[in-house]
């Protein structure tokens, strides 16, 4: 059986080429997300895919750590950051429970369309809370599928 990491690694190149389906909604979400962030913020993104959104948000914050369980997605994100000259974005192959993202606390944690994919949602929410500074912001846009 194929793991989630294997699935996303296999899908990464095709995923990177997919156009945004609803550009207007995507731009609205970006602006709304920016409204919760400050130029001094350190942000963690969980499930960054190929890093497109992290790179767009990088100019609005001090630094962003973009993480994904797929090393191939992370490789593509790093290539994009280098090509675009974005120096304050760091890409890590890691999931919500991995120690690689433990260099917080973060001012904000962002997880879009990811929480519903985690088996133990309660543990994931506790982990996210632990990664945030006191008074930090968790920004999520997640469908309720269960």
pLDDT (mean) for 28-54: 96
The structure tokens 């599928």 sit at 145
Q: What is the pLDDT of residue 112?
A: 83
Q: Give me the domains of the chain, ranges plus CATH numbers.
A: 4-16+23-141 (3.40.50.150)
Q: What is the dihedral of CA 17, 75, 125, 116, to 10 degrees?
A: 30
Cα–Cα–Cα angle for 91, 88, 92, rounded to 5 degrees: 10
Say if residue 105 is preceded by a cis peptide, omega within 30 of 0: yes
pTM: 0.90
Binned at pLDDT 50, 70 and 90, residue 8 comes out as: confident
Span 99-113, average pLDDT: 91
Tell how many helices (H) and how many strands (E) occur in the chain. Answer: 5, 5
111-126: per-residue pLDDT in tens? 987 666 667 788 888 9
Q: Is 145's pLDDT higher than 70? A: no
Residue 62 confidence (pLDDT) above 90: yes
Q: pLDDT-based confidence at 51, cuts 50/70/90?
A: very high
Whether 57 and 30 have beta carbons less than 8 Å apart is answered as yes
129 with 105: CB under 8 angstroms? no
């Amino acid at each position: 059986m194929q793991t989630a990491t294997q699935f996303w690694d296999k899908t990464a190149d095709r995923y990177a080429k997919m156009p945004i389906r609803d550009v207007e909604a995507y731009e609205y979400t970006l602006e709304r997300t920016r409204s919760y962030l400050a130029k001094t913020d350190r942000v963690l993104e969980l499930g960054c895919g190929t890093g497109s959104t992290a790179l767009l948000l990088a100019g609005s914050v001090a630094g962003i750590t973009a993480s994904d369980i797929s090393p191939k997605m992370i490789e593509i994100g790093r290539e994009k950051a280098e090509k675009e000259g974005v120096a304050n974005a760091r890409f890590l192959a890691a999931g919500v429970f991995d120690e690689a993202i433990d260099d917080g606390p973060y001012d904000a944690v962002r997880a879009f369309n990811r929480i519903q994919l985690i088996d133990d949602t309660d543990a994931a929410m506790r982990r996210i809370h632990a990664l945030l500074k006191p008074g930090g912001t968790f920004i999520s846009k997640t469908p309720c599928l269960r």
